[in-house]
Amino acid sequence: METDCLFCKIVAGDVPAEVVHSTARTVAFRDLNPQAPTHVLVVPRVHQPDAASLAAADPASFAELATSAAAVAAADGHPLDYRLVFNTGSGAGQTVFHTHLHVLAGRPFTWPPG
């Protein structure tokens, strides 16, 4: 755990969040500022700053983000249509530097994204 990391604190239960799913390696909670009817963040229990770092350090946790995301979308009634996003780097919109997979569902999505 990184002492200054918001998502480490949510994983530890030290900062409240609406947790909707958890596994041995992941925790999923609703985004504070949702961009779709379903907007959940799936995070690994281990601290890594971004998706590639996590994949290199702990492939099992990286894989479990995707399977957890599918379970979260299905539980919200969207088993077939959902969007998964890893923002990586501040230029791409990353604001919290603990790997997190955005799960968005429940409205139409356009491409390319904004």
Q: Where on the chain is the footprint of Zn ion (CB under 5 A)?
A: 2, 5, 7-8, 47, 98
Of residues 21 through 40, those in contact with ligand 5GP by CB under 6 A are 29-33
- Catalytic residue (one of 39, 78, 98, 100): 100
Residue 78, binding choice from Zn ion, ligand 5GP, none, Cβ under 5 to 8 Å by partner class: none
Q: Identify whether 100 is a catalytic site residue.
A: yes
Question: Rounded distance, CA 77 to CA 8, Å?
Answer: 28
Nearer to Zn ion, 5 or 85 (CB): 5
Contacts of 102 (CB under 8 A, 6+ apart): 31, 39, 40, 41, 83, 84, 85, 86, 87
Residues 69-108 that bind ligand 5GP (CB under 6 A): 87, 93-96
Sign of the four-CA dihedral 17, 21, 22, 28: negative
Q: To the nearest whole angstrom, how small is the minimum distance from the Cβ of residue 31 to ligand 5GP?
A: 5
The catalytic residue positions are 100
